[in-house]
Amino acid sequence: MRGLSSLVAGACVLVVAGVAMAAEKWDMPTAYPDGNYHTQNARRFAECVKTGTGGELEIVVHSGGSLFKGNDIKRAVQTGQVPIGERLLSAHENENPIFGFDAVPFLATSYEQSEKLWQAARPVLEDVLAEQNLVLLYSVPWPPQGLYTKKPLTSAADMKGVKFRAYNAATARLAELMGAQPVQIEAAELAQALATGVAESFISSGSTGYDTKVWEHLTHFYDVQAWLPRNSVIVNRQAWEGLGEPVRNVLRACAGMAELSGTKWSEALANWYLQQLAAHGMKVQPPGEQLAADFRKIGETMTAEWLAKTGERGRRILDRYRGG
């Protein structure tokens, strides 16, 4: 009798040890604050993966650039320093201009258009990422981008000489075309840059304005709705291939849900953020006629430039997007 029970106990220990050995932990760096919906959505994604795999894969989200700074996340995933991460891929246009598909001004300005552009771009983006040892899991848009300033604007010319915070090549180019002075700053450092006067204007969503408490430094928000940039969650290819197919299936399913719910979340919050800016005393308004016309012109220039840079691949995305 004693022999049998110790045998059973021994078997239990073995089983538990077996489960413990199989469990894998993935650190997931992200660049935006804990309370932001992208981060919250990533945590839900991690929860889904843990539940779906019965604890076999646990993803631990590190927000706010705490594990890797925004600009270093993509390389960290590519080189296997971390297996997974979230990044604003348009900040890597210098590596491949395709990464800028979601930051071309006025190409897609609503959630509906953004989704259509995403569907058109996704296969091409996946190819580009595959060339870089990366697998795409999901992607979620930021709300439409508007202009933050500390004075009223009537035209783009009013931006001449203004220190303009950029978060990717497209926003730097936009600054240049307005005659402003671009300075690259991650969202995590934006509040500091505004407080010290390193930047005095920028283009972004109501979401990042809200997270930054922008009303402490700036006064005006022009709701130009220029584009909806995306955060994408990417995985290192070796880490991906090291998983069993059942675990990969759970990751795919959770990613599909995260993309849907994150996109809905973004859309549901878009107006709320602008209301919060107004509630904190900012003047939130649509651009006047001249400013809107100037922005459209800049959009045309930048669309042509992006097409020239991306060649056949960019053309394929645009044709598919426009239903051609």
Interface contacts to ligand PCA, rule CB under 6 A: 88, 142, 167, 187, 204-205, 207-208, 229
274: amino acid identity, one letter: L
CB of 38 to ligand PCA, least distance (A): 9
Q: Shortest approach of ligand PCA to residue 284 CB, angstroms?
A: 15
Minimal distance, residue 97 CB to ligand PCA, in Å: 18
Beta-bridged to residue 139, according to DSSP, are 232
Residue 324: CB atoms within 10 A of its CB come to 8
User: Which residue is nearest to ligand PCA, using beta carbons?
Assistant: 205
Using an 8 Å Cβ cutoff, are 233 and 138 in contact? yes
Question: Least distance (Å) from ligand PCA to the CB of residue 231?
Answer: 8
Q: Is the Cβ–Cβ distance between 298 and 174 less than 8 Å? A: yes
Q: How far is CA 144 from CA 24, 46, 186, in A?
A: 37, 26, 18
Residue closer to ligand PCA (CB basis): 57 or 73: 73
Residue/partner pairs of 301-310 with CB below 8 Å, 24 or more apart:
301/177, 302/104, 302/105, 302/170, 302/173, 302/174, 302/177, 303/104, 303/105, 303/106, 303/107, 305/173, 306/97, 306/100, 306/101, 306/104, 309/97, 310/97, 310/98, 310/101
| For ligand PCA, the closer CB: 50 or 74 | 74
Cβ neighbour number for residue 266 with a 10 Å cutoff:
25
The residue (of 88 and 193) whose beta carbon lies closer to ligand PCA is 88
Q: How far is the CB of 324 from ligand PCA (least distance, A)?
A: 28
